[in-house]
Structure 1
């Protein structure tokens, strides 16, 4: 599932892993060069770029999803997943959009300019596009920004926010020279101010906690994008978006976008039968091999800031509430073996990721995994010291088995494989892993968000804003936000506070790496490996495919013929 509020940001979803990437090759040839993350070019994507004006006017893009979103409010804790982002990015305003090189640019469809107009106090002035309006005809104004800043500030717990990062630092939002200008004043310097208002919702959503939390569960309510909602059918598991006649920006090439839930094993046949127009390959080698055999299909590739990890639940009362126990158990996990077993047959040089905050290939990446390296002998000693004594195959303390639940989305081949690998490795240090598959529709809302797990496999997408994009994930506070494992400490919190106030990019990156070191020591989670982006795409589909670090431009997507 992706983080709320931002374009290309830290994100969470039922665990998927792209395990290979192939230079754009058609199914006719059946060939292609497999590349790993180390071989991927930096700062580019693979989307078959074409001038939108040269594309066919019309047509439906048929887009497969693993499941429908739990909530269409991207700023609410249940709406932070990637499925909601795929739908809502075609419907809602954004202050900035992510670019292929990892930077960001103002989305001029919604804002004429966004500028830092004062440093003491820090003031950012947002000049709203005079044409921008909600689909009921109401203009987008400074009041929409003000209402969202209040709702996401974290001051009212009735608003169950996915992240209050940045908004906690906003002192006030005022009307500028007219209703189309907002002046945002910060109570203290905030270096990553560009991360705010990445998913802007109307004032009516952000003034009522009931609407904020539940009003967008069944379907989007009031939107302002190049597409509009035509229908949401939860029984039929489809969402249809249609071209928005009220849209003031570049005219979309597509008539409609049809989102449809499909089992991953059914994707190749659906693509071959022209029932869908692309699919994400994921970790299933069969999906890759079958894509190569589908006529008029290309496999497009890019480097993306996404990685797979295993989350530990350290909430009070949980089996892993003690950080020493979390770290001891994590020392029994051999990430090298896991990586080789999961992707080694096609990516022999694949390496585990060593940082929770920065993607490998970025200038600020540092490997801090040595903080909790694989050392089963030390793991056994530390478990003994903590009172978990070996009794047969399973350790016990005060008559209680050291048994932990590995909760995962069912019918996911990757989850099934990784759970068995963990089970075998942890057995060797006396930990009993109980594998608990749950329906994918229940994994997030009934287990992850509410902390109903001991260990859980997930995937994060890293943000171009290392502090703002990670605060809600690693900061420990009364409201969980996206720290689903409830793991953190005062040191991490203080570093986030210091880094958030830092305006110097280099110094902020240094603090972000110190945060990563502390996150490792706290036993928050175990990163596996960064995954390249590989997508099987119909060859006639342009301006889409492997987006890498960039956000999608829904107005530019279309067919060449």
Structure 2
């Protein structure tokens, strides 16, 4: 999603900086249980504040402070724990899920959270149509595989069937088929529970579309209403400042600060400078090259556990040579992943042997390995008759991703590896939101490209299923056998069988298909000032600031 931020006058910027500095300074001594303000430097502006319509981290960051989900993720891990549901269970076939809900919970507008509210949200999502359905296709569409009207490119019967409020505190969700994503996917920020009253009052589904752009209604922009520890107060778009206030009626542990401010600062160096100046208290994705400097000036560099994968994608559509498995294997042998991890990435990064971290059930420790071996790469290319191969290698600019802190540096190292093996590289740089994603994911113009994924929840399907579970322009030629194998693995409700099937799929992906080359798995950092306590880095980048205080 593109992020556009209007530049504002120098005077306005000065006023904002002074006000935030004064706020931070005046409240430094009032942290702990006593309140204060926590100011976080956001890398981009949110698309809006209705979770179902979003698919990017900068939109989810404020949303997850204002909303709750039925199930949530234990802070600092991918483990599940109760959210709005105190307990949950399913039938053996995984098609019926029963949620025993917390009692006494209120939405921010004072209305009751209950089973009817849960069902109203699920029914809202499945019955969306037109622009509203198109706008929220990414997460809901992927997890539930379509809508009642099969809007957009969804086809067949959606996973969701119905929801029944058995009583005020019990919601029963019925699915048309088992889906391996559950129960973990019930914790997705996209599936946060909104106030049905506010949804109706502020016309939440009145989304309009013009070309590739969407316009969102009052609910999404001005009146987001959840049950979370912070409530929406204001969004100053001109100055890029989002202000949330503590919800004193929150059902759980109350937030320790009175105010939570997100200040949009797209440039990473500018975020670093504002941290040093004290106008913000923290920011995300500091450059690994800055870790030492930040620590030396007394800041806390909190490194997340690895839960992401960077890969080199291979598009077999345009260049017939890439349809030969031996050529794809040669590319894998040519890339020196150990050197990349040691010289280009932050501490904690690991070489990836497959397309998921080793903490996910379904990881196979015995996949075919592709250690750096230039001679092996040359032999495979010769056997395939491709000693003079030239490939268009796309890499993104104007972006920092958790798995790809400096795309240009990574590209340079990999292109040198490929050249050493005799593969000529034609570099093609495109801005991330200015052509790269369209060229790679929609048009499939590239031969090779850099891309990756940070997991949303702990299930194998969220990694290999997301990458290779269906045809994509990103990889070109279709491989029905691979799709069928992944769909079968995802359909098995028995946890042991589910994991075993994904283990075999991982073996086959690396030995028989190799649609891409896994490079590394890493955990990016989040940095905060020395006087900040309670920021718990999440491998899912799912930090909740309810625990944050300042001294």
- TM-score band by shorter chain is 0.7 to 0.9
Q: What CA distance in whole angstroms lies between the structure 1 residues aligned with 2:135 and 2:529? A: 45
The root-mean-square deviation of aligned C-alpha atoms, in Å, is 4.0
- Equivalent of 1:523, from 509, 514, 520? 514
1:284 maps to what in 2? Answer: 288
Q: 1:238 to 1:425 in 2, by over 3 A?
A: farther
8 A Cα contact 1:419 1:435, kept in partner:
no
Is 1:500–2:490 an aligned residue pair?
Answer: yes
Contact 2:181 2:461 in 1 (8 A): yes
CA-CA distance at 1:541 after TM superposition: 1.5
Partners of 1:382 and 1:127 in 2: CA distance:
57
User: Residues of 2 paired with 1:307 and 1:265: CA distance?
Assistant: 25
Aligned length: 480
Provide closer, same or farther for how the CA distance between residues 101 and 306 of structure 1 changes in structure 2, counting only shifts above 3 A. Answer: same
Identify the residue that residue 170 of structure 1 maps to in structure 2: 159
Corresponding residue SS for 2:183: helix
* Per-residue deviation, 1:252: 2.1
**Corresponding position of 1:406:** 394
Asked whether 1:473 is paired with 2:477, we answer no
Matched residues in 2 for 1:165 and 1:328: separation? Answer: 33
Q: Partners of 1:83 and 1:490 in 2: how far apart? A: 35
Give the aligned partner of residue 73 of structure 2. Answer: 98
Distance in 2, matches of 1:531 and 1:121, equals 32
1:387-398 aligned at under 5 Å gives the runs 388=386, 390=388, 395=389
Instruction: Pick one of 334, 357, 360 that aligns with 2:358.
Output: 360
Deviations 1:464-514 (A, max 9, x none): 12235542332114xx6xx85467632332233322232332322222222
Structure 1 residue corresponding to 2:458, chosen from 464, 482, 489: 464
Of 178, 197, 222, the match for 2:224: 222
Q: Does 1:510 align with 2:500?
A: yes
Partner SS state of residue 412, structure 2: helix
Residues 510-552 of structure 1 show CA distances to partners (whole Å, capped at 9, x for unaligned) of: 2222222333343333332232454432222121043346843
The whole-number CA distance in structure 2 between the counterparts of 1:389 and 1:453 is: 23
Asked if the contact 1:353/1:367 (under 8 Å) is kept, the reply is no
Q: Is the 8 A contact 1:422 1:433 kept in 2?
A: no
Residue 264 (str. 1) matches residue 271 (str. 2): no
1:194 match: 183
Q: Is the 8 A contact 2:135 2:214 kept in 1?
A: no
| Distance in 2 separating the partners of 1:207 and 1:518 | 43
Q: CA deviation at 1:303?
A: 2.5
Quote the Cα distance in structure 2 between the aligned partners of 1:94 and 1:529. 31
Of the two structures, which has the highest relative contact order with CA contacts closer than 8 Å and spacing of 6 or more?
1
Instruction: Identify, as 1 or 2, the structure richer in helix.
Output: 2
1:214-253 matched pairs, under 5 angstroms: 214-216=214-216, 219=221, 222-224=224-226, 225-233=228-236, 235-244=238-247, 247-253=250-256
Alignment of 1:372-383 (within 5 A): 372-380=370-378, 382-383=380-381
- The aligned residue for residue 368 of structure 2 is 370
Deviations 1:239-288 (A, max 9, x none): 33333467554432221222322422334432221122123464532x11
**Structure 1 residues not aligned, in runs of 5+:** 2-12, 14-52, 396-401
Q: Structure 2, unaligned stretches of length 5 or more? A: 4-29, 146-157
Aligned to 2:419: 427
Corresponding residue number in structure 2 for 1:336: 338
Cα drift, residue 142 of structure 1 = 1.0
> How far is the alpha carbon of 1:91 from its aligned partner?
2.5
- Structure 1 residues 170 and 319 mapped into 2: Cα distance closer, same or farther (>3 Å)? same
Structure 1 counterpart SS, 2:460: coil
- 1:81 and 2:51 aligned: no
Residue number in structure 2 paired with 1:31:
none
| Alpha-carbon spacing, 1:411–1:532, altered in 2? closer, same or farther (3 Å) | closer
Counterpart in 2 of 1:398? none
Structure 1 position 104, deviation (Å)? 0.5
Conserved 8 A contact 2:341-2:351: yes
Task: Give yes or no for contact 1:141–1:180 (8 Å, CA) kept in 2.
Answer: no
- 1:512-551 equivalences under 5 Å are 512-520=502-510, 521-548=512-539, 551=542
**Contact 2:461–2:490 (CA under 8 A) maintained in structure 1:** yes
Q: Which residue of 2 aligns with 1:416?
A: 408
User: Which residue is 2:154 aligned to?
Assistant: none
